[in-house]
Amino acid sequence: MNPSLQRGVTSFYNLIYEAQTFATAMARIDTAEQEHYAGRIEGLNWVLDRCQELEDMDTNLTPSSLQRILGEVKSDLEHELSVQRREKGRRADGREEALNFVADYLASLITATEIESAKTAV
């Protein structure tokens, strides 16, 4: 995998981790919204668990293998978002927010891997 793509994957994982750290800190500060932040933390934990393969990623991973892994994460994320949208309540809203936040960045990362896969296929 090229170094730029690897940095993108690492940055994606770190972004999720930092968002989780932020939500944890905010839950301690803003007690009125504590349950909402707990939902965000729960959603980000779900993503971190699902993306464990990315953290342990081998630098020899091909763009097409990465694309497959990210596609699986995206599919799981879309399913989880549909579940969250059916649930109501502040905790579910926080979790849905976190998952939507990650979905945007995941879509960008998938596009980057598609571009890189196309380059290596040629």
pLDDT given for residue 91 in this prediction: 60
Summarised one tens digit per residue, pLDDT across range 6-39 is 888 889 888 999 999 999 999 999 988 888 899 8
Record the tokens describing residue 68, joined without a space: 């497959």
Burial of 109 (0-12, 13-18, 19+ CB in 10 A): buried
CATH topology of domain 3-121: Four Helix Bundle (Hemerythrin (Met), subunit A) (1.20.120)
Summarised one tens digit per residue, pLDDT across range 50-74 is 887 776 666 667 888 888 888 998 9
Residues 6+ apart with CB under 8 A from 16: 44, 47, 48, 51, 102
Using the CB atoms, write b or e for 31-67: b if 16+ within 10 Å: eeeeebbbbbbbbbebbbebbeebeebeeebebebbb
